[in-house]
Structure 1
Amino acid sequence: MSPCVDSALDRRTIQSGDYASKFPAFSGRYLISPTHIPLLDEMAVCKIAAQLLEGIVDMAQIHLFHCDLSVNNFLVDPQLNVQLIDLGNVFFGLDERDFFDRRYAYLPFQEYQMSPELLEVVLRPENEGRDWRDEPWLTLPNDVRRTLLWKFGVIIDGLLHGYWPWDNPSCGWGG
């Protein structure tokens, strides 16, 4: 992990409206095409995967786990250098038990990362007609480290194939 610190004291403030030319990075969500066509070749996806995994491992070495890993929470520059962002939902622990959580936040905009275990809970009869915006928490005991690796795998799968595991582009739905 590296801090995003600019030590150049002579740097000038970016003029309004000129951000794109000064900071051409974009979030990972722009690496998935709405037409379900992979935008990157296998080697490019490997470069992104290696850097994401390196960030996950670096955080794990100091007992931190990013619990909100998504395509919106990493930046990519034109050379495919990756930077993890949005560390607002991070678990810290020193013991195994510190990484187990009894609740799971189901966020409708993260359906593409849904695990089979989470889907089973969401589809239970008691959740039928539930307004997820008002009550996003589910009882789902989970190991946040495994959830993080699941989300990482889903992101890499999506980058390689051009669509998410729950999508079925041949049927014209999903994504």
Structure 2
Amino acid sequence: MKTSEKIRSGQISLRSPTEDDGASMWRLARDSGVLEMNSAYAYLMFARFFQDTCVVAEIEEEIVGFVTGFYRPDQEDTLFIWQIGVHDAYRGMGIAKSMIQELLRRGESQSIRYLEATVSPANEASSALFKGVGKTYRTHCRIEECFPAHLFPGGAHEAEWTYRIGPIPAHD
């Protein structure tokens, strides 16, 4: 059964997070072994104050994925994806893409014309995800350097590239 069918059948539910989900989101990020860690407080804040631009994926009452994002203050038609996490047992099943599509489908998101995220060059999974979202919506995925490596303290961080997808057609 495809991920979209599992979502329709209720096996996977996608919903806005609540502050009760913040700790689960933090643990999922920590346990992923690949995500850059933010404080537990950051996940609590996203779950409470940015519910309209965040989503969690749940299977049998367990959080197996999340997307955190916000509207760019300088470009209100742009949803910036801060972080995407999917439990390693569920990676490669299309859950991350389904969560992004859920954000774009929501009534609160009707004004979104562009989707942005920053991705490091080594993160092939995220690169493929965002390019795939662009193809799904039959629109452009423009990639350009955002934060050069020298801006990060300690010299141990790769550059971050902006993936800008859009314009995204109006949603149903």
- TM-score normalised to the size of structure 1? 0.27
- TM-score normalised to the size of structure 2? 0.27
As a proportion of its length, which structure holds more strand?
Answer: 2
